Each structure stands twice: as C-alpha cells, then as structure tokens.
Structure 1
Amino acid sequence: MIGDDVDRVLTKLQQLVAVPSVVGYEGPLMRHLARELHTAGLDVTSTEGGVVGNGARGGRVVISAHADRHGLICTAPGTFTYAAHVLPAIRGVANSHRHAFAETVCTRFGDEEVRAYDPRTGNTVADGRVDHMAVCGIDDLGIEVPVKGLDAILTATPVAFQGKVVQEGQHVQAQLDNVLGVAMALVLVEGGFDGTVVFTAEEEIGASWRYLNHELLRHVQAPDTLIVLDTSPFDDTEAVDVGAVVLRWRDETARFSVPTVSRLIQISQSHDIPVVVKDRLIERLNEERRFNGRDELPLGRTELGRLVRGTAEFVNGATLQVPTTMYHTNAETTSVTAIANAMRVLRDATD
C-alpha cells in the first residue's frame, strides 16, 4: 500500500507541476483540483480562496494544503517582480524588502526557464528565461527579477517557473512547495478519505488561513482533527535521507493542538519513523547561537499558526511536513522515504 502511495504521489506531482499556480493567480490549478475532487466523489465547492471537497465526515476530519507557488508578475513592459512581494504592495499590506533577499531570489532562480500564462486558462502566452547574468533590483513594489524573452507580454500577466519533476535514485526534485502536499491529499482522497479537503490560495503572502477559516466556520464547530500539509526546509540532507516527518508544537504565532500533535508523534513512533520537532530543533540551535553571540533563528510562521491566532484558538490542529532542501527553488528536494513515511502517518491519522 505505502509503495503504491508513493508511486501515485509522484504521478500526481508530475501532473500538478505542469499546471501554473503563481501566488495570486492560482485559478488554473484550482480548477484542475476541483475536477480531481469531483471525480473522486466528493461534494466540491470552489471559493474565492480555493477549492473544498466534502465527504461523509465533512467538517469533522479536515486536511488542508496550500496550492500556490512562487513566481513572477509582469508589473510593467519588460519588468518582472517577485509575486510574493508585489501582491502585498499592490494591496497596501506592509512588506519589507532587503537587498540580501533580492540576491537570494536571483540565486534561487538564475537561468530557470519560465512561461507567461493566461490566468484564466493556464495556457502559455510566451516562454522566457531568468537572466542569471543580470542583477536583481528593488523598487517600491518589491524584487525585480530580470527575464529574457518576455518583452511583449502584457502588464499583470503571471509568469510561472517551468514545471518539472526529476527523480535521481531516492531523491525527488521539483518546485515542491506545496504541490507535494496537494498531491498527498489527492492520493488520500482517491484511497477513500471521506472527510474535508481544503486547497487554499495565497499562502505565500500569508492570506490562506482566512480562506481555510471561512470553510471551517461553515460547519459551525471546530473539526475534531485538522492536519495542514506542507514542506519544511533544512540546510542539510539528514532529515530528508532518513525519511523523517516534521512536526511542530508551535510556530512564531501560536501553539498547536497537543492531542493532535501527540497522536502524530505516537503514530510515527509505532512505525519507527524518525520525527523532527522543528520548533524544538530551532530552540536547541538558538541556545548554541546565543552562546556564540550569533543572531537567533526565527521559529517560522505557518498557515496553521496564523489560523490559530486569527480564531483566538477556536480552531487548532497540527502540521505534517515533509523535509526538503533547496527550499523555494525549482530543485527543492526530498526523498521517496520521506514521502512514504508522511503518507503512512497521514493515513493512520485520518482513519
């Protein structure tokens, strides 16, 4: 079963990365996901902020995954801005831009093939490539990324990184955040999951929790079980190679459900699956950094943390994350073992 799960997740991954879903312009992928959930037999509702599928246990057991990915937006003829930064600026939301981060973005996507697409249909308008020889810039709207070959496209056109999945031995590379979580949820549904699945938009700008909350409030009471799927970045490959699942007791904004997190830990231990508790790991690293006079690492913010804080803890749950390296790139990497272990825990937790 678990081996079959991995094969199905990888097949879904191939299909999903081919559909563009730049943050703020997720329409083509959301329509694809609505069809998938409908085919699987769920009652499907499309909303402004995502797609919801409800089965017989709708509202009681909820799985969520954000479906947006990083990309660019054409903000003027020949000018392309990192979407996760330009959208808050356009909407009047406070956002800070650092030159160091601009360099990071260009390093992440230098020389990557991209495609401008029609946000209504998902059809490709033109192909281009990030110019790794040019320098990223920062203006009032955010981080400008130099792109060759798209001079003729219209302002406000989204530009996605070309979708590709590469498997080398036990490692899987793609723009995994968070199409991997979406693929896992779809495989769970096709295997008979009859709760609620919520695919949200705009997580990369911190807005997705509002869409998730809107769906949960339709059921009046908080779910018995809420699990939010995502990837989790690491600087080295240890967690990836051992196939760890990544859990949290908290993030920067909120503490998570003790019963739900405890259950995920128990399930993992029952299968001898390694567990990394990310907030505890960061706290240990920060003890060393304080001792050495270095700046502390942030605990990080999650969709679930924003939801818990935004609902004054009325809604709570747990994150279930797959460890990756090369975070937020087109070569974000995890392992077959990590995917298999996350699916095993997810299945047991939602039975």
Structure 2
Amino acid sequence: MKLQFASPEFLHLLRALVREPSVVGMEDAFFRVLRRELEEYPVKITRYHGLLVVQGDDPESVYLSAHVDRHGLLCTGPREFQYAAFIAGNRGELNGDSISEQFMETIAGRFHGQRVQAHAPYAGTYLGQGEITESYICQRRKNLIFEIDGLDFLHPGTPISFIDRLQEKDGYVSAQLDNVICVAMLIELVRRGFAGTAFFSAGEECGRSWRFVAEWFQRHDTTTDQLIVLDTSPFPTVDDCDQQEVVLRHCDSNATFDLKTTDELQRACRRLGIAYCYKDDYIRELNRTREKPSSLGRTELGRLIAATSGQVSGTTLQLPTSSYHTQMETAALLSVDAMLQLLCDRCGL
C-alpha cells in the first residue's frame, strides 16, 4: 500500500520535532518551536498558560487536541535526577491508576546507557550531555531515580531530555513518539487547510493537561461533545499493534466518552476500510486472564469530562505503539497513514 497521508513532508516534520526537547513541566521552549512551525499558515495562534490554541476559518466545526510534553528527567539536587512526571510538584492527581505509573517498574531498567541532554528551563538553550549509568525506584519518594555521568554541574530545576532521533525501517517508525507524533499530525492538518480549533496542551504525562483545555472552554463560555483527543496507545509487541490500525475507546477509568462522536469515528473507520479496536474492551478481555487486573487508564479526556460534568466531552483517537515510553516506541507507517486519513476525513480535508 502506498502511503498517501503520511507524506515525506510529514516524516520530515516529525523527524525535526523529535529532536526538540519538551520535558513534562518544562515545555516552554517547545511551544516556541511549535509556534514558528504554525506561523507559516493562515491560522490564528493564541498562547495561554499550558496551552497553545490554533484556529482556522470555522473554529467551531472541529475540536482536536494533542499533548506537547514528553517524558524526561529533572535535576532536583546535587547530582540528583528524578523522572519528571512523578516528582511531587508535577504529580497533579496521579494516584497509581494511570498506565504511566503502572509501567514504572517495567521501564525502570530500560535506561542504562541512555544518552541525555540538559537544557535551560525556559530558553531551551543546550547545556550539556551525559549518560545514564543507573536507574531504580525509590519507594519513599515513589519515583524513578537516575544516576548520570557528565551532568554533575547542573542546578536544581534543570530539565533533561533523552537524546532522540527518528528511525525508519521496514515500514515502521521508532522514537519517543508519545506525544510528538500527534503534535505532528495536527500540524499536518493545518498545512492541509484545517479550519477548526486545535489544542496543544502541556503536562499530560503528569495529569495536568485537562485543566488547561477546560479553562479555555470556560474562558470562552463554550461547550462541546465533539472534542477528539489524539494520543498513542501501548501494546505489548509490534505484532499486537498490527492487529489494528487505529485505537478507539468507549471510556477510561474516569468517564464514559460521548457515544455519538465515538460511533461516528467507528463508522468512518468502516467506510474507509481502517482496522480498529476498542482499547477498553481489549483491556477487559486481557484482565480475564490476569491475576492482577490492569487499569483502563486515565486519559486527558476522561479527566476533562469528569471535571466539567460532561460540559466538555468527545472521544479519543489513538495510534497503536509498542515499547511505550522509551526511545524505541514503534508505530507502523500504515497506522500513521490510517490515522491521518481518518482525521482528514473528519475535518473535510
């Protein structure tokens, strides 16, 4: 199958964005990169605390949302480095029920030998590189602690990103795709003439992004039941990912999603010949065989629906990936193409 939507220009954009740091809680520099990309196009761009909003000619026609933050580390003391999302000041309302937290023990040993780079918190100026020599869970702080060779000079509050490069091989792309690939998809829609409203939110990995989106709707005294939140969705292996091209959801741990909007995406998948699954059904089926059941996950949208009592609702559209929350998170280009095709269809592009 020849890719029609995940064009060479899209992959070039994704390759460039992957190289830019955007550690959760420290996304200012990435917001400026994002704004420079978008200013080329005839859209209105407005920056708020934790949010960048892009509006086309018909802003109420479609509402889409993606998250700009990615996992990284934060210097918290002399030669002390912690996983940024789970530092006490960043935790938001994380309480152990999120997929990220349940993955903590799984990913703890994956970072040995990983190269990292430090940046000035606001400007994003490059400060230096180092290598992770050890990573382990501190039960008292309930966080991943890292030992890094080469960054002893850093001051507390300095963000540290994983050195990341997009890899393309045999019809797959790999990098720390969550959440940058969804950001690239929204920019691609703007390139194609997107007329609706797109939200780029900060702090999703620490459970904060929903607040910024909720405040925008409250600020403008606006409601919707058609918000579509883009994300990646983890599966154990590449073969498991290949069983579907996109992932839908009826609900998460916090809320039931809008039935009508979810059904519209499902019908569009069938009409376009796109293979899909429902992640909540998939997890429930797996839990039948597990001694310790997995969480349905806590998404930005579920938090948003619960916090606004359904005044802001919609559904999610997710890209299946494997090796979640690592620098080798992998997605099939066929899935990327299918998700872009579905979004273009939704937006009338």
Q: Considering the TM-score relative to the shorter chain, is it more than 0.5?
A: yes
Alpha-carbon spacing, 1:223–1:2, altered in 2? closer, same or farther (3 Å): farther
Aligned residue number for residue 333 of structure 1 = 330
Pairing of 1:1-351 with structure 2 (within 5 A): 3-86=4-87, 88-89=88-89, 103-132=105-134, 135-140=136-141, 142-223=143-224, 225-242=226-243, 244-289=245-290, 294-351=291-348
Alpha-carbon spacing, 1:46–1:63, altered in 2? closer, same or farther (3 Å): same
Structure 2 CA distance for aligned equivalents of residues 205 and 147 of structure 1:
23
RMSD: 2.3
Structure 2 CA distance for aligned equivalents of residues 80 and 35 of structure 1:
31
Structure 1: gaps (5+ residues): none
CA contact (8 A) 1:135 1:146 kept: no
Q: Identify which range, 176-185 or 28-37, moves more after superposition.
A: 28-37
Alpha-carbon spacing, 1:90–1:280, altered in 2? closer, same or farther (3 Å): closer
CA contact (8 A) 1:63 1:228 kept: yes
Offset at residue 141 of structure 1 (A): 7.0
Alpha-carbon spacing, 1:99–1:137, altered in 2? closer, same or farther (3 Å): farther
CA contact (8 A) 2:92 2:206 kept: no
Structure 1 CA distance for aligned equivalents of residues 66 and 342 of structure 2:
16
Structure 2 CA distance for aligned equivalents of residues 100 and 285 of structure 1:
16
* Residue-pair matches, total: 345
Structure 1 CA distance for aligned equivalents of residues 157 and 341 of structure 2:
41
Alpha-carbon spacing, 1:95–1:346, altered in 2? closer, same or farther (3 Å): same
Structure 2 CA distance for aligned equivalents of residues 197 and 92 of structure 1:
23
Structure 2 CA distance for aligned equivalents of residues 316 and 127 of structure 1:
42
TM norm structure 2: 0.92
Offset at residue 225 of structure 1 (A): 2.8
- Percentage of identical aligned residues: 38
Offset at residue 220 of structure 1 (A): 2.3
| Per-residue CA distance 1:34-72 (angstroms, 9 max, x = gap) | 222222221111111121111122144111001000000
SS at match of 2:257: coil
Alpha-carbon spacing, 1:346–1:101, altered in 2? closer, same or farther (3 Å): closer
Structure 2: gaps (5+ residues): none
Offset at residue 23 of structure 1 (A): 0.4
Offset at residue 91 of structure 1 (A): 7.3
Structure 1 CA distance for aligned equivalents of residues 92 and 200 of structure 2:
25
| Per-residue CA distance 1:150-191 (angstroms, 9 max, x = gap) | 001111100000121011111110000010100001001100
Query: Which letter does structure 1 place at the counterpart of 2:124?
Result: G
Offset at residue 102 of structure 1 (A): 5.5
